[in-house]
Amino acid sequence: MCVGLSAKVVKISNGTAVVDAGGAKREVSSKLLENLEPGDYVMVHAGVAIAKITDEDDDETDQLMEVTAVMGEEKKRTAREIIENYDGAAVRIMEVCGTHTHEIFRLGIRKLLPPQVELISGPGCPVCVTPVGFIDEAVWLALKKNVTVCTFGDLVRVPGTEMSLAGAREKGAKIRIVYSPADAEKYALEHPEEPVVFLSVGFETTTPAECLSVKQAKKDELSNYSLLMANKTMPQAYEALKGSADVFLYPGHVNAITGTELCEDLTEEGVSGVVAGFTAKELLTALAVALVKFQEGKPFFVNCYPRVVKPEGSREAQQLTEEMTEACDSEWRGLGVIPKSGVCLKKEWSAFDARKKYNIPSIQGKANPACRCGDVLQGKCKPSDCKVFGKVCTPQHPVGACMVSNEGACSAYYAYGDNQ
């Protein structure tokens, strides 16, 4: 769900672009990008082109690797050399984004780290931070109201208090996996006799796609489409996590939407961080920069993903979200209720709010007490510190959301081991 896909624009027509990603072509929304032309490269997330990809990384990467002022050296060193030869103070770096966790494992980057550099997981996996009560609400809609529930695949096996959506499907519920919110809206259009609810989860990256689906539903005059929302925003989470790590590895695609102003402001509160991309080069660069800047002994922020993340972010996505949603209190798995950290549809769009549409009762979910997902998401423990990890809790039989999601820390530790 956090994963962005780089693709080449082949054709553009009426707010829709045909893109080619490694030979696979599909239509995506281009409504968030102006002046898009065939031949441009874009980052696609949840069926929406969220950012243009530029060539601005080379010069800036060279600048980032120019560490002479800090290291007192006369020549550049590669990111790998900086990481492997780091001899500074102990430092804890939090991978806020679950995709970063998986890619760092997959690429073997952990093997390069000196003992005093510790990578810890954070709350940047949308599925992982979604509370048990949200799954219970979705199950209630599917079984009690006979709603067709459309969802990203990761959510299907997340345990609820009594059952997952997969369990509800075994009891006859109609659970449909979709690629994007637009696909859910299209399904509702093609099946007017079915009430359809899309499970709207994710951060600033995903919310615009879900808003676009509601706008399209209104244009199509649909009365059978709505969202069950558990969308969240990162600023309040960073506030709640102050002190959990020395440096944040900020999620690149969230910053592609929000820009870098928040991260820059956080340095004034003593919070340090770098925005990272997802390739080996981008991750190594971000980690090397973090280690070099950390030795300066003062809060810092550096954008190490300039080809996608611009200081202003996506104005179109920001305006769309502001137009259609407002802040609300939201429960995060492991962090509890964080005031004003969620988003919900504004009053004028309430016809597409599933909680109001179906009068969903208040449901307090109960997580399995043996699961330490909450501690993992706060960086308080490693997945392997949990007693059920790899024993009772496996990807085939998950106890908690962090083992289900492809972006979850427990899933990464299980797949790649704790010996990297």
CATH number at residue 120: 3.40.50.11740
Say yes or no: 327 and 378 in one domain: no
**C-alpha–C-alpha distance, residues 141 and 127, integer Å:** 19
CB-CB contact of 19 with 42 (8 Å): yes
Q: In DSSP terms, which residues pair with 226 in a beta bridge? A: 197
Say yes or no: 209 and 87 in one domain: yes
Say yes or no: 298 and 187 in one domain: yes
| Domain enclosing residue 20, as ranges | 5-52
pLDDT attached to residue 70: 46
**C-alpha–C-alpha distance, residues 294 and 91, integer Å:** 8
Name the residue among 174, 167, 178 with its Cα closest to residue 209: 178
Q: Provide the CATH number for the domain around residue 14.
A: 2.30.30.140
- Looking only at Cα atoms, what is the longest distance across the chain? 71
Say yes or no: 45 and 141 in one domain: no
CB-CB contact of 271 with 66 (8 Å): no
CB-CB contact of 197 with 148 (8 Å): yes
Angle at the Cα of 199 from the Cα atoms of 339 and 261, rounded to 5 degrees:
45
Say yes or no: 400 and 308 in one domain: no
Say yes or no: 15 and 143 in one domain: no
The domain tally of the chain equals 3
pLDDT attached to residue 379: 87
pLDDT in tens, 211-264: 999 999 999 999 999 999 999 999 988 988 888 999 999 999 999 999 999 999
Say yes or no: 19 and 159 in one domain: no
Say yes or no: 138 and 61 in one domain: yes
Say yes or no: 363 and 225 in one domain: yes
Say yes or no: 263 and 335 in one domain: yes
- Residues in Cβ contact with 388 at an 8 Å cutoff, skipping those fewer than 6 apart: 370, 371, 399
Count Cβ neighbours within 10 Å for each residue of 81-91 and write b for 16 or more, e otherwise: ebbeebeeeeb
Could you give the 3-state DSSP secondary structure of residue 74?
A: coil
Name the residue among 176, 215, 218, 220 with its Cα closest to residue 198: 176
Say yes or no: 275 and 339 in one domain: yes
pLDDT attached to residue 53: 87
Say yes or no: 188 and 314 in one domain: yes
pLDDT in tens, 70-113: 444 545 788 999 999 999 999 999 999 988 999 999 999 999 99
List of E strands, 259-404:
273-276, 301-303, 325-332, 336-345
**Sites in the chain below the pLDDT cut of 50:** 1, 58-61, 63, 67-72, 74
pLDDT attached to residue 67: 44
